[in-house]
């Protein structure tokens, strides 16, 4: 038995076939063998293309020499700033807590756990904020024709 099985469901007929012909036999055999099973159903997370695009955009901020709080920032620092700003702009809020050494830390959401829609929203936010700051973006914009999401 493998530790994990991941299957993407994308339409009702395909989902029914996968659940009845692949998943149920696997679960049944595992339960008969004495294993306990956990089923997790959740929306698909952001795509690898979205991740690559967002990181390229953070690099574009760095290369554009945009300053924040009086000095230029690295791509990694721009990622933190953009994810935090996006959370506040979309009413998700921010949590600033005292750090282990007396500093202050923003406990921000993980981009890896974002849904595709949230990832698209972050990219749109980054494009808009970047335009205000004069950032020249190098990553091409792609809009999924089926969902209208920016990937």
* Paired tokens of 137: 């973006």
pTM over 0.75? The answer is: no
**pLDDT mean for each 10 residues of the chain (151 residues):** 78 93 92 93 85 94 96 97 96 93 93 92 95 88 61 56
Q: What is the structure's pLDDT at 126?
A: 96
* Paired tokens of 100: 């282990």
Q: What is the structure's pLDDT at 40?
A: 86
Distance CA 85, CA 94 (A): 9
Where does 48-133 sit in CATH, by number? 1.10.3790.10
Nearest to 119 by CA among 54, 42, 37, 39: 54
Residues near 113 by beta carbon (within 8 Å), at least 6 away in sequence: 45
Q: What is the structure's pLDDT at 150?
A: 62
**Domain map (residue ranges) of the chain:** 1-41, 48-133
Q: What is the structure's pLDDT at 46?
A: 87
């Amino acid at each position: 038995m493998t530790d994990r099985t991941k299957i993407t469901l994308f339409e009702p007929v395909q989902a029914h076939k996968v659940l009845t012909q692949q998943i149920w036999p696997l679960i049944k055999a595992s339960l008969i063998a004495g294993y306990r099973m956990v089923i997790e159903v959740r929306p698909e997370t952001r795509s690898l293309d979205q991740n690559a695009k967002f990181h390229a955009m953070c690099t574009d901020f760095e290369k554009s020499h945009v300053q924040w709080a009086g000095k230029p920032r690295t791509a990694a620092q721009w990622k933190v700033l953009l994810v935090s700003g996006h959370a506040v702009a979309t009413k998700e809020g921010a949590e600033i807590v005292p750090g282990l050494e007396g500093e202050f830390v923003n406990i921000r959401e993980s981009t890896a756990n974002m849904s595709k829609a949230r990832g698209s929203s972050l990219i749109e936010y980054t494009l808009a904020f970047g335009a205000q700051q004069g950032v020249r973006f190098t990553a091409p914009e792609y809009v999924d024709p089926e969902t209208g999401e920016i990937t």
